[in-house]
Structure 1
């Protein structure tokens, strides 16, 4: 069974059809997806701008992350759950949609950047987290994150134009 066969089975399922054809469910999912995106990316934007040294230099990075972490993860959870349901509703269409795959690729790279940063530098963060100017690796991670999350958002918003 190929990936397209699986996508076709999802597309033809009753739940996919019900979501896709619902007058209220699909638009509600889209709205919740955008709210989750605004919460998660908006707060990541603040932390990335702190990492790059462009904003909030006087706020210790550790304090910023501790205060925003719950909301970032809640926004991500909402975004990923609703994104999965939106994919479920239009699986076959999205399978052939280039901006969708570019969005997914950028999201994977952004997550890998965050994971690498956490594993490589996270244990040292307490040494420099209160500094106004952070190490080059932290600044680089911030720029990479900003780039990939911005591209993921742009590609995500362009998906409907390539259906």
Structure 2
């Protein structure tokens, strides 16, 4: 882990990270863009998940809703991911030392695995043998909603667990 922290410290000492720290507007603009990407992707995912749970928009077929919202979810995620990498560079060593950051990455990974399982019906049918598609969709929606909530919570906790000194 110490090699990772040393590498992160070099990133934190880079010209990019220095420019972010010295600019009055760069960090807040990046953070705002990161939050907008997150709001777009997770907000739309919440709509999809609530539909999968059968709680909202039950008159719209799931496949139609997914087809229309999927590109927006992906673009929001790409925006949040790219700005997140740049934001990480500004305080890489500190953030990597924050336990909630590790949890955030774990929850993102698990949410991604859940999405892959949901998207590939053959895999989904194999994992949920005997369950009808409504039950599988509800499980996928509930798990997704929970994991993305944990991503947001752990992301918000990162600054409170950054070691000082």
TM-score under structure 2 length normalisation = 0.87
Match of 1:150 in 2: 149
Runs of 4+ displaced beyond 6 Å: none
TM-score under structure 1 length normalisation = 0.88
Q: Deviations over 1:23-53 (max 9, x none)?
A: 1100101100111111000000000001111
Q: Which runs of 5+ in 1 are unaligned?
A: 125-132
> Would you say 1:11 and 2:12 are equivalent positions?
yes
TM superposition shift of 1:93 = 0.8
Q: Distance in 1 between matches of 2:89 and 2:21?
A: 9
Residue range with higher mean Cα deviation, 17-26 or 91-100: 17-26
Contact residue 117 and residue 124 of structure 2 kept, 8 A: no
Tell me the C-alpha RMSD between the 2 structures: 1.9
Q: Distance in 2 between matches of 1:94 and 1:155?
A: 12
Match of 1:161 in 2: 160
Contact residue 118 and residue 124 of structure 2 kept, 8 A: no
C-alpha spacing 1:51/1:121, structure 2 compared with 1 (3 Å): farther
Match of 2:72 in 1: 71
Q: How many residues align?
A: 155
